[in-house]
C-alpha cells in the first residue's frame, strides 16, 4: 500500500465516522442551485476535515470538491472528494451514504477509496494493484448477454435538461428497459460503481449526463481495477470533465454503447 492510499483510507474512515455520528442530529441545511439539492453542516464539517488534511500532507496538489471552492495549484495530481455522497439518505436517517476520496494523475485515476460508515465497508484500489472490499479482492461479473444483465442508472437534475435532452433520455431509458434484465436507480454513483466491481451490477450509466466527477472519481478506479471498461458515449476515455460515463463489466460494453448511441 502506498502512503497516499494509507492516508486516504484513514481519512475516509475518519470523515465517514464523523458523518455517522451526526446521523439523526439536527442539521443546518442550505439549498444549492438545484431544488432539493442540499448541503448539510455534516457535509461541510467532513469536507473541511478532508481538505485540511490533504493540504497539510500534499500542499502542492489540486483539490476538486463538491461544496467549497476548488484548489488549483497547477499540479499534475488532483484529489477529487465527496465527503458525503447520499445527502438525501443521510438527512432521512438512512445509512446509505459514503465518503469518496480519489487521487488522479493528469487525466486518469490512480487511487480511490470509498467508505460506507453505516456498514463499515471500505472499497479501495490503486492502479495496477487490484481492488478490495476490506480484505477481499473483487472482480466484475462475466455476463455476456444484455438480456441477463442488470444496469445501475443515475438520473440527475431532469428539470435542467432541454426538451430535446429529455426526449433522448427517455428514449435511452426505454431501450434499457427493453433490452436489460433489470435496471436499478439507487441514487449513489459511488456505490453503484462499487457494486459493479463486486459483480452485483453488469453496467452503470448516467442518463442525464449531470453526474459530477467528485461523485465518481474514486469509483472509476475501483471499477477499473476489478476489470470494468470505462468510456464516454464515443468509446473514448472520459476524463474529469466528461459527461455520460459508460461503465460495464467489459463483456457487454460494445453492445451497451451501440444501444445508447
- Within this chain, do residues 197 and 175 fall inside the same structural domain, yes or no? yes
Structurally, how many domains does the chain consist of?
2
Q: Please name which of 68, 37, 63 lies closest in space to residue 217, comparing C-alpha atoms.
A: 63
* Beta-carbon-side half-sphere exposure of residue 251 (alpha carbons within 13 Å): 16
133 with 151, same domain? no
| Bridge partners of residue 104, in order along the sequence | 78, 109
* pLDDT of res. 36: 40
Regarding whether 125 and 11 lie in a shared domain, the answer is: yes
**Is-contact 257 235, C-beta < 8 A?**
yes
What pLDDT was estimated at residue 32? 52
Are residues 157 and 127 part of one domain?
Answer: no
Same domain? 178 vs 67? no
The reply to whether 73 and 164 lie within a common domain is: no
Q: What confidence score (pLDDT) does residue 27 get?
A: 55
Give me the percent of the chain exceeding a pLDDT of 90.
76
Tell me the three cell numbers of residue 153: 442508472
CB atoms within 10 A of CB 56: 8
Which CATH number belongs to the domain containing residue 195 in this structure? 3.40.190.80
Residues 73 and 199 in one domain: no
pLDDT over 70 percentage in the chain:
94
Domain extent at residue 117: 3-137
Instruction: Give residue-wise pLDDT tens across range 57-68.
Output: 999 999 999 878
| Each residue's pLDDT tens digit, 124-179 | 999 999 999 999 999 999 999 999 999 999 987 788 889 999 999 999 999 999 99
Q: Are residues 184 and 109 in the same domain?
A: no
For residue 228, the model assigns a pLDDT of 98
Beta-strand relationship, 203-206 and 150-154: parallel
Q: Which of 117, 108, 110, 89 is nearest to 12 (CA)?
A: 117
pLDDT value at residue 128? 97
Q: Which residues pair with 114 in a beta bridge?
A: 100, 123
Q: Does residue 257 have a pLDDT over 70?
A: yes
What does the mean pLDDT of the chain come to?
91
Amino acid at each position: 500500500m502506498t502512503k497516499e492510499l494509507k492516508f486516504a483510507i484513514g481519512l475516509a474512515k475518519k470523515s465517514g465516522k464523523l458523518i455517522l455520528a451526526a446521523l439523526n442530529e439536527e442539521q443546518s441545511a442550505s439549498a444549492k442551485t438545484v431544488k432539493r439539492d442540499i448541503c448539510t453542516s455534516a457535509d461541510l464539517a467532513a469536507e473541511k476535515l478532508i481538505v485540511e488534511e490533504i493540504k497539510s500532507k500534499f500542499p502542492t496538489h489540486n483539490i476538486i470538491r463538491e461544496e467549497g471552492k476548488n484548489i488549483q495549484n497547477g499540479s499534475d495530481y488532483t484529489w477529487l472528494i465527496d465527503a458525503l455522497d447520499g445527502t438525501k439518505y443521510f438527512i432521512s436517517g438512512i445509512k446509505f451514504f459514503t465518503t469518496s476520496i480519489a487521487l488522479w494523475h493528469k487525466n486518469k485515476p490512480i487511487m480511490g477509496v470509498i467508505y460506507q460508515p453505516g456498514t463499515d465497508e471500505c472499497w479501495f484500489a490503486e492502479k495496477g494493484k487490484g481492488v478490495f472490499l476490506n480484505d477481499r479482492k473483487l472482480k466484475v461479473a462475466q455476463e455476456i448477454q444484455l438480456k441477463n444483465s442488470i444496469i445501475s442508472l443515475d438520473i440527475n437534475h431532469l428539470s435542467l435538461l432541454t426538451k430535446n435532452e429529455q426526449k433522448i433520455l427517455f428514449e435511452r431509458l426505454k431501450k434499457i428497459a427493453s433490452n436489460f434484465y433489470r435496471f436499478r436507480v439507487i441514487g449513489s454513483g459511488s456505490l453503484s460503481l462499487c457494486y459493479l466491481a463486486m459483480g452485483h451490477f453488469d453496467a452503470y450509466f448516467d442518463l442525464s449526463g449531470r453526474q459530477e466527477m467528485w461523485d465518481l472519481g474514486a469509483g472509476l478506479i475501483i471499477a477499473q481495477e476489478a476489470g470494468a471498461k470505462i468510456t464516454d458515449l464515443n468509446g473514448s476515455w472520459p476524463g474529469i470533465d466528461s459527461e455520460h460515463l459508460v461503465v460495464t463489466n467489459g463483456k457487454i460494453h460494445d453492445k451497451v454503447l451501440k444501444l445508447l448511441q
